Amino acid sequence: MAKAMKIAIVDDEQDMRQSISQWLALSGFDTETFATAEDALKRIGPDFPGVVVSDVRMPGMDGMAFLKRLMSQDSALPVIIITGHGDVPMAVEAMRVGAFDFLEKPFNPDQMTELAKKATQKRRLALDARALRRDLSGGAQIMDKLIGASPAMERLREDILDLGQADGHVLIDGETGTGKTLAAHALHAVGSRASKPFVLVQCGAHPDEEMGDKLFEGDPDAGVLPLVEQARGGTLCLEDIEALSPAVQARLLTFINDQGAPAETRIVAVSNLQEQGKTSEDALRPDLFYRLAAMRITLPPLRQRGEDILQLFNRFAVQFADEYGCEAPEVGAQEAAQLLQAPWPGNVRQLINVAERAVLQSRRGSGTIASLLMAESETVEPVMTTEGKPLKEYVEAFERMLIDNTMRRHKGSIVAVMDELCLPRRTLNEKMAKYGLQRSDYL
């Protein structure tokens, strides 16, 4: 039996709060009474394991102000408001602010019990869902590895969380180095299969016959289970899926069909075809393609998410600087523009590479980011993408980077950063919230 939900009763009239409390206690609730909203606020925090019943007219903080405070700290907290007889505008206002329901005095105690039951049920569901989400985000540190605040990255994180909960097979595609393998790991780690095996197979790593055997036969003499068996109940990640020959594709299709639905073993197919101008649709048997691509994740190329470039660069520069025991280079305006305009054909992998070399360069005290980028592109032309980005995007990416750097240098001292960047606290707070920067990360 789950623990009883609490009911906090707030009323300045002693008779009233005691009779409500007695009645609800008789119905099996765990009640607690408060004479003022101020007292109640000391006990009711964001994850309060229960609901609130409050009078409206009280000396000191009144019921409406109390309700607003409660809603601002936890909008999922059910609050039942007791209004005076005929106080319709007040009741309407309370509902608008987010009250669960209201009761007009004098009320029938059974009505109160009914409402309290509904409210506590709702509360329990909300708290359970919240705990589940926390488990997922806490348990799956891999999601934290996915850096980037661009809308495309936000969507990717949501897709991973959603599809992670589902059972169907998934096709992941995108250019090289965009994070396909990382996304496949994340998909497994956030899902219900996280405690089961994750088996990663490079489909192009072996000649055709051998691949088929490894996947479906194993090596009984050596006691090696087939890969599909090793992945049982978990995730079988097939990288470079279109390297499978038609014969092996046919066996895979049979395996998928034999599994039925929901699939015991989830297949996450990773396709590397995008840069060759082909699609997995051309390279896979259509029936296999449709089975695998029912759910699809396409990783966006880095050049399409300018906001992420400087963030990724900085993050990895700090990481490498740590590793090499030196200071991370600070990126100036011009260098930032160059990073933003580079075409990044190797996407995040290439960017990590450039960040590492930039750190090594700055440790030696020579070289520029421009020269690194120049060396990256084989042509001697200045590095420029053909497609420009809106000015706003450069400005925001740069602003974010400056605040990030300055916070890092001042180890999270807001006052020092306000001072250096000549920003009022409020503006700084707003910008940090906008760019997803958290002070605790710099302390």
Ligand X SMILES: Nc1ncnc2c1ncn2[C@@H]1O[C@H](COP(=O)(O)OP(=O)(O)OP(=O)(O)O)[C@@H](O)[C@H]1O
| Interatomic CA distance for residues 47 and 131, integer angstroms | 10
**How many Cβ atoms sit within 10 Å of the Cβ of residue 244?**
25
* Comparison of 147 and 253: residue with beta carbon closer to ligand X: 147
| Interatomic CA distance for residues 155 and 38, integer angstroms | 41
| Interatomic CA distance for residues 113 and 260, integer angstroms | 47
How many residues of this chain bind ligand X (CB under 6 A)?
16
The maximal CA–CA distance of the chain, rounded, in angstroms, is 86
63 binding partner (options Mg ion, ligand X, none; Cβ < 5 to 8 Å by kind): none
- Whether the CB-CB separation of 54 and 21 falls below 8 Å is answered with no
Contact with ligand X (CB under 6 A) among 16, 41, 61, 147: 147
Beta pairing class for 50-55 and 79-83: parallel
Distance of closest approach, residue 272 Cβ to ligand X, in angstroms: 5
* Comparison of 180 and 214: residue with beta carbon closer to Mg ion: 180
| Interatomic CA distance for residues 7 and 116, integer angstroms | 8
Contact with ligand X (CB under 6 A) among 63, 78, 164, 177: 177
For tokens 């409390």, name the residue: 21
Distance of closest approach, residue 344 Cβ to ligand X, in angstroms: 11
* Comparison of 179 and 306: residue with beta carbon closer to ligand X: 179
Distance of closest approach, residue 332 Cβ to ligand X, in angstroms: 23
Length of the chain equals 443
Contact with ligand X (CB under 6 A) among 176, 279, 405, 413: 176
* Comparison of 203 and 348: residue with beta carbon closer to ligand X: 348
* Comparison of 80 and 355: residue with beta carbon closer to ligand X: 355
Residue 11, CB-side half-sphere exposure with 13 Å CA sphere: 21
Give 92-154 as a DSSP string: HHHHHHT-SEEEESS--HHHHHHHHHHHHHHHHHHHHHHHHHHHHHHH-HHHHH----SHHHH
* Comparison of 52 and 270: residue with beta carbon closer to ligand X: 270
Residue in the shown chain whose Cβ atom is closest to Mg ion: 181
For tokens 């998410």, name the residue: 305
Residue in the shown chain whose Cβ atom is closest to ligand X: 179
Distance of closest approach, residue 159 Cβ to Mg ion, in angstroms: 17
Residues 6+ apart with CB under 8 A from 346: 176, 177, 353
234 binding partner (options Mg ion, ligand X, none; Cβ < 5 to 8 Å by kind): none
145 binding partner (options ligand X, Mg ion, none; Cβ < 5 to 8 Å by kind): ligand X
* Comparison of 181 and 368: residue with beta carbon closer to Mg ion: 181
Contact with ligand X (CB under 6 A) among 40, 51, 52, 348: 348
Token pair for residue 360?
A: 């090594």
Contact with ligand X (CB under 6 A) among 54, 83, 235, 272: 272
- Whether the CB-CB separation of 344 and 309 falls below 8 Å is answered with yes
* Comparison of 174 and 212: residue with beta carbon closer to ligand X: 174
176 binds Mg ion (CB under 5 A): no
| Window 179-218: residues binding ligand X (CB under 6 A) | 179-182
Distance of closest approach, residue 182 Cβ to ligand X, in angstroms: 4
**How many Cβ atoms sit within 10 Å of the Cβ of residue 121?**
13
Contact with Mg ion (CB under 5 A) among 19, 113, 181, 413: 181
Contact with ligand X (CB under 6 A) among 161, 256, 352, 369: 352
| Interatomic CA distance for residues 102 and 105, integer angstroms | 10
Binding positions for ligand X, rule: CB under 6 A: 145-148, 174, 176-182, 272, 348-349, 352
Binding positions for Mg ion, rule: CB under 5 A: 180-181
